[in-house]
Amino acid sequence: NAGVTQTPKFQVLKTGQSMTLQCAQDMNHEYMSWYRQDPGMGLRLIHYSVGAGITDQGEVPNGYNVSRSTTEDFPLRLLSAAPSQTSVYFCASRLTSGPYNEQFFGPGTRLTVL
């Protein structure tokens, strides 16, 4: 199993540009989520999904869209990049069969918005 994969690893954008961060998992996990991690702020939930066709907002959803057309893929779209979106983005997935299922993270995407 590849686990959770994310592309790209690094990205530099100009203010106002849009882009999609890709996330895929091959573990047949129902639950997938996106976090951003900023210095001193910890991991904050952006959006999550409990299955194909179902998405919901987390703590910091503004400026981001998601979709879940398949179990495997959960892309994160930045609509109009702003410097405040400079961060490290982690995608994660877990099974929903029990409260103690491990959540697996991808390696992260380091995004800089100029």
Partner 1 sequence: RKEVEQDPGPFNVPEGATVAFNCTYSNSASQSFFWYRQDCRKEPKLLMSVYSSGNEDGRFTAQLNRASQYISLLIRDSKLSDSATYLCVVNLGAGSYQLTFGKGTKLSVIP
Angle at 85 between CA 96 and CA 4, to 5 degrees: 35
Stretch that binds partner 1, among 12-20, 65-73, 77-85, 102-110 (CB under 8 A): 102-110
Angle at 112 between CA 43 and CA 17, to 5 degrees: 110
Stretch that binds partner 1, among 11-19, 68-76, 78-86, 106-114 (CB under 8 A): 106-114
Sole binder of partner 1 in the list 19, 52, 55, 58 (CB under 8 A)? 58
Taking CB under 8 A as the rule, does residue 10 contact partner 1? no
Taking CB under 8 A as the rule, does residue 50 contact partner 1? yes
- Smallest distance, Å, CB 14 to partner 1? 24
Taking CB under 8 A as the rule, does residue 60 contact partner 1? no
Alpha carbon distance 15, 87 (integer Å):
14
- Smallest distance, Å, CB 23 to partner 1? 12
- At residue 25, φ and ψ (nearest 5 deg) are -135, 145
Query: Would you say the C-alpha torsion 1, 105, 71, 29 has a positive or negative sign?
Result: positive
Taking CB under 8 A as the rule, does residue 99 contact partner 1? yes
Place of tokens 């530099």: 12
